[in-house]
Amino acid sequence: MDKRRILILGGTAEARDLAGVLADRTDLAVTLSLAGRTLDPAPQPVPVRTGGFGGVEGLSAHLRDEAIDLLIDATHPFARQISANARAASAATGIPLLRLERLGWDMVEGDRWTRVANMTEAVGALGKVPRRVFLAIGRQEAKAFDAAPQHHYLVRSVDPVDPPLAAPDVDYLLARGPFTVAAEVELLRGHRIDVVVSKNSGGDATYGKIVAARSLGLPVVLVDRAEAQGGHHAGTVQDAVRLADHLVGSSRKRGV
């Protein structure tokens, strides 16, 4: 029997978990794609290809050349370009697309959130008075905070922020999640943090800082995600497996 070929766009724990579930299936050939941003990526349970495709055209060509039956976009909720490219490449090739996106966090009692739409608004939400800010947003958008150099920043990322911020008072911390609540409380206390800036990434691995801020009564500036786009959506790995089965079944019937 011909194996159905699946390409997962990854870089998230969900993508790795999904690949782990699908890896044992003898009817499927699964490849995981990573952007190649992380210097020392976590091991993956299926074959990996690394690096950008070259925009929509490059991704479309890759899907055709590799005779992919189903594209699964399991990238981070804030990786907007690759998700847009996946939608466009699916439309151009007719190859079905499934979006696996973990649910965002919801505010609970005790949370002191200011919700903003993007990093520029997050910078503004810190205000004019100097504060001690924990930037837990990864390294790619940290430079936006050069616009508010009056604050002290503690920047945590997996890989170094390069180039570093121009703001004068910045500490850097290299660490990879998951982070426990206890460790996050200790970090916030140890650095005398006044306010946390976070993306609404969802999931458990980085929720500790949100719980820690709540327990210390600290405010959080939370950057919201873009609106979900149309198409096939799954919020969990289990849902994604079920929908993937349906979609590779229907693409076979259509002879895609």
Ligand X SMILES: NC(=O)c1ccc[n+]([C@@H]2O[C@H](COP(=O)([O-])OP(=O)(O)OC[C@H]3O[C@@H](n4cnc5c(N)ncnc54)[C@H](OP(=O)(O)O)[C@@H]3O)[C@@H](O)[C@H]2O)c1
Q: Is residue 10 near ligand X by the rule CB under 6 A?
A: yes
Q: Is residue 229 near ligand X by the rule CB under 6 A?
A: no
C-beta of 37 vs 143, nearer to ligand X: 37
* Residue from 28, 105, 123, 138 in contact with ligand X (CB under 6 A): 138
* Residue from 4, 7, 12, 60 in contact with ligand X (CB under 6 A): 12
Question: Which amino acid is residue 23, in one-letter code?
Answer: A
Q: Is residue 87 near ligand X by the rule CB under 6 A?
A: no
Residue 133: phi and psi, rounded to 5, are: -115, 130
**Cross-strand pairs, 8:** 32, 72
Number of residues that bind ligand X (CB under 6 A): 25
Q: How far is the CB of 4 from ligand X (least distance, A)?
A: 20
Q: Is residue 142 near ligand X by the rule CB under 6 A?
A: no
* Residue from 57, 66, 80, 173 in contact with ligand X (CB under 6 A): 80
CB 63 within 8 A of CB 93: yes
Q: Is residue 48 near ligand X by the rule CB under 6 A?
A: no
For 46-67, the DSSP string reads S-EEES---HHHHHHHHHHHTT
Q: Is residue 198 near ligand X by the rule CB under 6 A?
A: no
CB 30 within 8 A of CB 49: no
* One character per residue 13-42, x = contact with ligand X (rule: CB under 6 A): --------------------xxx-x-----
C-beta of 34 vs 122, nearer to ligand X: 34
Burial of 233 (0-12, 13-18, 19+ CB in 10 A): middle
C-alpha torsion sign, points 62, 68, 71, 72: negative
Q: Is residue 206 near ligand X by the rule CB under 6 A?
A: no
Q: Is residue 78 near ligand X by the rule CB under 6 A?
A: yes
Q: Which residues, 51 to 70, sit near ligand X by CB under 6 A?
A: 52-55, 58-59
Q: Is residue 110 near ligand X by the rule CB under 6 A?
A: no
Q: How far is the CB of 81 from ligand X (least distance, A)?
A: 3
219 prior amide bond cis, ω within 30: no
Of 120, 106, 89, whose CA–CA distance to 210 is shortest? 106
Ordered strands of the 97-100 beta sheet: 48-50, 28-34, 4-9, 70-73, 97-100, 232-234
Positions touching ligand X (CB under 6 A) are: 9-12, 33-35, 37, 52-55, 58-59, 75-76, 78-82, 85, 138, 140, 199
